[in-house]
Amino acid sequence: MSERIEFRFSGSGGQGLILAGIILADAAAIYENKNAVQTQSYGPEARGGSSKSEVIISDDPIEYPKATKVNYMVSLTQEAFNKYINDVKDDGIVIVDKELVTDFSKAKGKLYVLDMVKSAREELGKLLGLNIISLGVLVEISGIVSHDSIEKALLKRVPKGFEDYNKKALEIGFRLAKEVKK
Partner 1 sequence: MSKNIKLMQGNEAVAEGAVIAGCDFFAGYPITPSSEVAEILSSKLPKIGKVFLQMEDEIAAMGAILGAALGGAKVITATSGPGMSLKQENIGYASMCEIPCVIVNVMRGGPSTGLPTLPAQGDVMQAKWGTHGDHAVIAITPSSVNESLYETIRAFNLAIKYRTPVIILTDEIIGHMREKVVIPDKSEVEVLDIKLPDVPPEKYNPYNYTSGKVTPLAPMGEGYRYHVTGLIHGETGFPSQKTDVIQNAQNWLIDKIYKNIKDIEKFEEFQTDDADILIVAYGSTSRSSRQAISVARAAGIKVGMFRPITIWPFPEEQISNLSKKIKKVLVVEMNMGQIILEVQRAACGSKVYGLHIVNGEPITPDQIFAKIKEVSEN
In Å, how far are 3, 30, 112 from 58, measured between CA atoms?
6, 13, 24
Cα separation, 13 vs 169, whole angstroms: 20
Bridge partners of residue 6, in order along the sequence? 56
Closest Cα partner for 80 from 124, 17, 33? Answer: 17
How many residues line the site for partner 1 (CB under 8 A)? 22
Binding residues for partner 1 restricted to 135-154, rule: CB under 8 A: none
Out of 5, 20, 22, 176, the only residue in the binding site for partner 1 (CB under 8 A) is 22
Q: For the CB of residue 45, give the shortest distance to partner 1 in the complex, in Å.
A: 9
Closest CB 38 distance from partner 1, rounded Å: 4
Q: Which of 29, 80, 101, 133 binds partner 1 (CB under 8 A)?
A: 29
Q: Which of 64, 105, 143, 159 binds partner 1 (CB under 8 A)?
A: 64
Please identify which residue in 17, 20, 37, 73 interacts with partner 1, judged by CB under 8 A.
37
Q: Is 90 in the site for partner 1 (CB under 8 A)?
A: no
Listed in order, strand segments (DSSP E) in the chain are: 5-12, 35-41, 50-58, 70-75, 88-97, 110-114
